[in-house]
Amino acid sequence: MKVTVAAAQYPITEHTDFSAWNKHIAHWVSQAAAQGAQLLLFPEYGSMELVSIFSEAVRSNIREQIFTLDALKSEFCAVFEELAKAYQVTIVAPTIPVVEQGKNLNRAYVFSPSGLAGYQDKFFMTRFEDEEWGIETAPKVLTVFEASWGKFGIQICYDVEFPIGAQLLCEAGAGLILAPSCTETIRGATRVHVGARARALENQAYTVVSQTIGNAAWSPAVDINYGFAACYSTPDKDLPEEGIVSTMPPQQEGWLIQELDFAKLENVRSDGQVFNFRDLKGVKSHFLQEEIQISTIRV
């Protein structure tokens, strides 16, 4: 099976009101759909541009922004649900801070042509999230999303720098790991991309990165953004020799459109030059104090 993926190089943009933001998002989705994309990946914290419609007091208070965005999440989800249905695509929305059971979480909602399918929360917190922003590690639940063309999972930004989540998702059937990301430096972006390439190698899978770009001086949380979109594979038979399927030049607004063929993964997993995915099953990692649960959702 094959799927055409669109990964956003997405600028944090200032908006006058919610309606203006809605039109902005609709334009982005229509552009990807017009290019044949079936699966659209927005970056981590792309939702932070909604802070631009709030008061100056909220704009300047990164902890208060968590609660104002959480209060807006129903309207936020409704926009993506409508667009996924209208264009008959699957959309991984830009992650948004949510408050659940007293915890501030970083969440990626997933929308299918049928509506809201589910979500994936972030496990590992960066120092900024943990020490300054108050975003917390989520309950340890991984979700495999099953589409007609194959299965995928999500590892949000820093999560993809660790092998545990991608390994469990791929063992549960995922052949594609999506990594929505938000970084402010070349070093940060590099860590995410090196992690994504490593996860593709270890699991003989595809990984796709979407990142925020550009500057938003009005936002203390995401004021500086550096990144680029990319699709990676394991470097093996009938796949790119360096494992780089495609990339876009950094800091260039737009979609990276790429068709991915899952039959190529099946081939290398069964008859590759090496058997990373098979051999990795002999290595188990886990959290010392929490068990990870895995669920499967049809999209």
Is the pLDDT at 91 greater than 90, yes or no?
yes
Q: With 90 as the cut, is the pLDDT of residue 217 above it? A: no
Mean pLDDT of the 244-256 span: 97
Residue 294 confidence (pLDDT) above 90? yes
Determine the average pLDDT of the residues in 234-247: 97
Taking only the tens place, the pLDDT of each residue in 176-195 is 999 999 999 999 999 999 99
pLDDT of residue 216: 87
**Confidence at 158, pLDDT banded by 50, 70, 90:** very high
Q: How confident is the model at residue 71 (pLDDT cuts 50, 70, 90)?
A: very high
pLDDT of residue 289 exceeding 90, the answer is no
Backbone φ, ψ for residue 205 (5° rounding):
-130, 175
Structure tokens at 189: 């972006």
**How high is the pLDDT of residue 234?**
98
Structure confidence at residue 286 as a pLDDT band (50, 70, 90):
confident
Taking residues 34-48, report their average pLDDT: 98
Instruction: Give kind and range of the element (H or E) at residue 56.
Output: helix 56-59
What is the pLDDT, as a whole number, of residue 284? 85
**What is the Rg, in whole angstroms, of the alpha carbon atoms belonging to the chain?**
18
Strand ranges, E, within the chain? 2-11, 39-41, 90-92, 96-100, 103-112, 115-121, 141-147, 150-154, 176-181, 206-215, 224-225, 230-232, 244-247, 254-261, 293-298
Q: Which domains does the chain have, with CATH numbers?
A: 2-298 (3.60.110.10)
| Per-residue confidence (pLDDT) for residue 137, from 0 to 100 | 96
User: Once rounded to an integer, what is the mean pLDDT over residues 137-151?
Assistant: 97
Residue 49 has a pLDDT of 96
| Segment 209-234 mean pLDDT | 94
Average pLDDT in the 143-167 region? 97
Whether the CB-CB separation of 58 and 90 falls below 8 Å is answered with no
| Stretch 114-132: mean pLDDT | 96
Of 286 and 110, the structure prediction assigns the larger pLDDT to 110
For residue 19, the tally of other CB atoms under 10 A from its CB is 10
Average pLDDT, the chain: 96
CB 90, CB 113: distance < 8 Å: yes
d(CA 54, CA 47): 13
pLDDT of residue 237: 96
Confidence class of residue 130 from pLDDT cuts 50, 70 and 90?
Answer: very high
Residues 66/99, Cβ–Cβ less than 8 Å: yes
